Structure 1
């Protein structure tokens, strides 16, 4: 919208409970979409990720409207726009990762079997994990997906190109595509499989971080799955619906400081080609099945930048925004992802960093052979993730609904809505876990850089660096500060969720009071186990 067209605006309650403004043209377009006309034929024909759709991301300020607080990074840093618009951009950033990734596979097979002397374990589970959770996700959203090597072969199978774009027509897509032609089943267009996959990997975390061959098996399964999925289903079905790493990133990308969005909603509304979704001569169809005109969250955008190249109107940009701007989970699958990640942050700290030797023995079944102990350990984690915490959350929600007053939102709306509070809290819990992991084991990273296979090499003169924990005495204080920041964000953003649900401020405050107690209790549990 431009100029004083805002005088024709009408306030409308959005599905998430907030107030948004729209023109009559937007109303007509959304009515058409609701009927199944136009772009809604694309989910089956193009493999659109329905969970990525939502309200328009941001509209230019009209009369009486506040100025968009975001910063258009492409406009502010033109060279950034030039780089991502370069046709070979993604290939050039993925290729080094592919090479390193498969060199790590070699190290897993012929290198030292002990984790702290194998480059795969130290680089992936210590250095990469630390950088991912502390910097890449909070600052860069799903930027790891931009360079991820897992779908490399699957993408080539479908495109038969590494750089060049093939124009043509494949179903509703405007590119010549190969490989899989089937749309992903509608009933599975959610992240339940990702939830199960991440939880399954977590049960074997002690094996993955101590035995290189265990990590090798896990990664080779993911590469094979991504490739096989590309042979049967359209686009990146594996990344969208099965990859456990993708599920983890999708949840915490909601907090990120950047977003890829439309610049002008009117341009998207008037665009008939929908090239960001279907592709064009300049770029491939969105591998994630997203239409930028309806994208309002970071969850399912892998930042491949194909839409930047394919948009004929130059209407897509990377924006800097406030932290934790996306505050609405869509359904139970995302809520359970939050439960799983919240519990696992505590489990990882207890198992990998805590003083509980007996628990570590049960978790590390390949070393101890205690199968029964491992089964009990796994059962406790599964129950905590899938049953115990959700029941505590449900009890809190029911209490919130009672004390909220006469206005009675549905239990589902409160359950899913307030589950968002676990996103900032869980992210900072993972950060609190990751700092001591790096501070205690960082010197091993220096060792394996010089001796990647544990064969006695010393390429850079760091192989003999002694194990030197960095300021271990400050770890409890650092973790406490990080967790308290997470609690503050959870409360502040959770109250925003409450205000989007309740029309009256006092009702929102009353309803959110039990949730605040619940969040404080979780933080206290984190503090107890993290600093034990």
Structure 2
């Protein structure tokens, strides 16, 4: 008679809320308010400087703060602390204030519920395209106008609709945050045994302690971190201390999503294309690419030629994922091309992150002193000099390390999404990740132009 195998108890995840001062702080009125109001003040100064300061992008404090500091740092935050930035984002806080003062709190339109992520995909593509066509990043006024346009959209949606409708269904950065946070190192979850018996559902509905989840999330059913801002409202509201905030291994969420969605995999592929565009346009080869397209189109019009290059960059990762999915449907048992596209599209996220972080790392480490020089300029002290804190060679080594890690993580995600099937069954997806890893490695081996001089 066989002796039944003894089942070992599963290890309880570490919970930051078990640390008394952390739990007290998150449950207090100071969280996340102290971060929100700080961000609001800095945001106001940035917009003021962008709209009224010098038009020289290399000397404007708002430009340096936005494109040298904030934009490079925010993807790092997504990896380290999930969507915490979205909890303290000035747009989100302004949305909360507008709703409380004049909001109608009407339900989110069904159209946005159904197509919100597709709208985010489109917005992300349009803003990236417009940046290159109109030179938004290199124009303090252009950057200021972009921020004010987004602010206007936030206010309008907050007047009419409940919770953070803009953040959930329209914000392009929210879409980026959602994808990258899936590979992040922190998660908020509920204890299912406790949540099943909960009668209040105050994490979603809210209570006298705090509003219900502004991102329309129900903790009991959460299996991903794509739309959790770590704002702490559910922690404040939960009467049973069911919620935990825990560290986790990066990327582990990518193969555990219960309902993978086409639009999210599509966005991951689009981000790959955008990362490629952002990197290629900073290289000497970019002029040769534009000239080559100009020969075909028989025009030197930048808008036309860039738009064609931009569309091609979007199509390449989407088309390659579709082709790999088609091949996979023949090697991977009982799957269709569409099913493979949806499931394995999430494996793009680590290599997306690696390319994005590598690109931003260049600006952060080789242009950092612009923050100091431009800050001193606010007080009438004008300084100049080398902007880098490390050499280009050091940055390149760090970029290579990121690409290697990202490629490996994407390949491991393929392995886990594919339920640990054999190389013979999953080879099209492994090859896809290796190709983009090599492309990113090659691009980072070339000299890049600086955004600020």
For the criterion TM > 0.5, the same-fold answer is yes
Residue number in structure 2 paired with 1:377? 306
Residues 154 and 228 of structure 1 are in contact (CA less than 8 Å); yes or no, is this contact kept in structure 2?
Answer: no
For the residue of structure 2 that corresponds to 1:293, the secondary structure is helix
Residues 276 and 313 of structure 2 are in contact (CA less than 8 Å); yes or no, is this contact kept in structure 1?
Answer: no
Report the CA distance between 1:188 and its aligned residue. Answer: 4.0
Report the CA distance between 1:382 and its aligned residue. Answer: 2.8
Report the CA distance between 1:192 and its aligned residue. Answer: 0.8
* Cα distance change on mapping 1:65 and 1:275 into 2, 3 Å: farther
Deviations 1:361-408 (A, max 9, x none): 99xxxxxxx9931232123213431x332121111111112123xx21
Residues 443 and 467 of structure 1 are in contact (CA less than 8 Å); yes or no, is this contact kept in structure 2?
Answer: yes
Residues 108 and 120 of structure 1 are in contact (CA less than 8 Å); yes or no, is this contact kept in structure 2?
Answer: yes
TM-score (norm 2): 0.89
* Cα distance change on mapping 1:153 and 1:432 into 2, 3 Å: closer
TM-score (norm 1): 0.76
- Higher deviation after alignment, 203-212 or 184-193: 184-193
Find the aligned partners of 1:182 and 1:265 in 2 and give their Cα distance: 28
Residue number in structure 1 paired with 2:229? 302
Residue number in structure 1 paired with 2:386? 467
- Higher deviation after alignment, 182-191 or 443-452: 182-191
Deviations 1:203-256 (A, max 9, x none): 133422211111111111111111110111211110001001111100000011
Q: Does 1:292 align with 2:219?
A: yes
Q: Does 1:524 align with 2:450?
A: no
Residue number in structure 2 paired with 1:180? 105
Q: Does 1:120 align with 2:62?
A: yes
Once the two structures are superposed, the pairs formed by residues 102-181 of structure 1 within 5 Å of their partners are 102-134=44-76, 136-160=77-101, 178-181=103-106
Report the CA distance between 1:183 and its aligned residue. Answer: 2.6
Residues 345 and 429 of structure 1 are in contact (CA less than 8 Å); yes or no, is this contact kept in structure 2?
Answer: yes
For the residue of structure 1 that corresponds to 2:245, the secondary structure is strand
Match of 1:83 among 3, 25, 28: 25
Once the two structures are superposed, the pairs formed by residues 261-340 of structure 1 within 5 Å of their partners are 261-262=189-190, 264-327=191-254, 328=257, 330-340=260-270
Find the aligned partners of 1:449 and 1:142 in 2 and give their Cα distance: 28
- Higher deviation after alignment, 266-275 or 374-383: 374-383
Residues 187 and 246 of structure 2 are in contact (CA less than 8 Å); yes or no, is this contact kept in structure 1?
Answer: yes
Residue number in structure 1 paired with 2:404? 484
Match of 1:342 among 247, 252, 272: 272
Aligned length: 428
Match of 1:414 among 340, 345, 357: 340
5+ long unaligned stretches in structure 2: 292-298, 447-453
Find the aligned partners of 1:319 and 1:278 in 2 and give their Cα distance: 23
Find the aligned partners of 2:159 and 2:93 in 1 and give their Cα distance: 13
Report the CA distance between 1:114 and its aligned residue. Answer: 1.5
Find the aligned partners of 1:234 and 1:379 in 2 and give their Cα distance: 39
Residue number in structure 2 paired with 1:174? none
* Cα distance change on mapping 1:323 and 1:66 into 2, 3 Å: farther
For the residue of structure 2 that corresponds to 1:259, the secondary structure is strand
For the residue of structure 1 that corresponds to 2:187, the secondary structure is strand
Find the aligned partners of 2:351 and 2:222 in 1 and give their Cα distance: 25
Residues 113 and 212 of structure 1 are in contact (CA less than 8 Å); yes or no, is this contact kept in structure 2?
Answer: yes
Find the aligned partners of 1:354 and 1:444 in 2 and give their Cα distance: 22
Match of 1:202 among 83, 104, 128: 128
Q: Aligned-residue CA RMSD in angstroms?
A: 2.2
- Higher deviation after alignment, 211-220 or 63-72: 63-72
Find the aligned partners of 1:361 and 1:439 in 2 and give their Cα distance: 29
Residues 151 and 223 of structure 1 are in contact (CA less than 8 Å); yes or no, is this contact kept in structure 2?
Answer: no
5+ long unaligned stretches in structure 1: 1-6, 8-62, 161-176, 363-369, 500-504
Find the aligned partners of 2:83 and 2:53 in 1 and give their Cα distance: 31
Find the aligned partners of 1:371 and 1:278 in 2 and give their Cα distance: 57
Find the aligned partners of 1:223 and 1:415 in 2 and give their Cα distance: 35
* Cα distance change on mapping 1:181 and 1:244 into 2, 3 Å: same
Find the aligned partners of 1:498 and 1:520 in 2 and give their Cα distance: 16
Find the aligned partners of 1:436 and 1:105 in 2 and give their Cα distance: 24
Report the CA distance between 1:350 and its aligned residue. Answer: 1.6
* Cα distance change on mapping 1:476 and 1:354 into 2, 3 Å: same
Report the CA distance between 1:420 and its aligned residue. Answer: 1.1
Deviations 1:108-155 (A, max 9, x none): 122111212111111111111222123x11110001012100132321
Report the CA distance between 1:269 and its aligned residue. Answer: 0.5
Residue number in structure 1 paired with 2:451? none
Match of 1:430 among 356, 373, 392: 356
For the residue of structure 1 that corresponds to 2:162, the secondary structure is coil
* Cα distance change on mapping 1:149 and 1:490 into 2, 3 Å: same
Find the aligned partners of 1:520 and 1:300 in 2 and give their Cα distance: 29
Find the aligned partners of 2:267 and 2:109 in 1 and give their Cα distance: 21
Report the CA distance between 1:182 and its aligned residue. Answer: 2.8
Residue number in structure 2 paired with 1:172? none
Find the aligned partners of 1:330 and 1:424 in 2 and give their Cα distance: 16
* Cα distance change on mapping 1:66 and 1:201 into 2, 3 Å: farther
Report the CA distance between 1:515 and its aligned residue. Answer: 0.9
* Cα distance change on mapping 1:195 and 1:359 into 2, 3 Å: farther
